[in-house]
Amino acid sequence: MNCPNDQVLSAFCDGELPPVEMAQVRTHLQGCAVCSDVVRAIESASTMLRTAEWSNVSQEMLDRWSTAKTAVQDRSLRRFVGSLTGIAASVLIVASFARQQTSDASSPTIGEWEQIALAGEDEGDSSHVAATFMAADLSMRRADASSREGDRP
């Protein structure tokens, strides 16, 4: 076997070659000082990493990280309260809108014809007067509605 390239030797060190190739490289290494040196260098780089010192951490820092749980709980609670507030606000808006709609429908302003009709009761022929104004009022409302239709884009 010719000398394998360094990438293959690197994969060999990690045991990541197919079994046949692993065996071939192992045999090759027994008779090749150059490749054996490469493998040793790879292994010593691994050792350097595994034996390097970890950075120091103060107890205060560890304590701060330990309170992460409380922070998460606080955050979740805040989010929950925020959602509740949002829902409550939406319900309030919808309710007040619905109330406005209902009050518009149930208590319309007293039409002019109604007022005259009521006033006419005292004067005698009230039904005729009321009917006249009712017709006038209805035609005005129709005209309003059709002009609103016309304003729409």
- Chain residues binding another protein by CB under 8 A are 6-7, 10-11, 14, 16, 41-42, 44-46, 48-57, 61-62, 64-66, 68-69, 71-72
Closer of 16 and 121 to another protein (Cβ): 16
Joined together, the tokens standing for residue 36 give 């054996």
Joined together, the tokens standing for residue 3 give 């000398």
Closer of 27 and 46 to another protein (Cβ): 46
DSSP string, 118-150: HHHTTTS-HHHHHHHHHHHHHHHHHHHHHHHHH
Q: Residues near 115 by Cβ (< 8 Å), separated by ≥ 6?
A: none
- Closest separation between CB of residue 6 and another protein, Å? 6
- Closest separation between CB of residue 17 and another protein, Å? 10
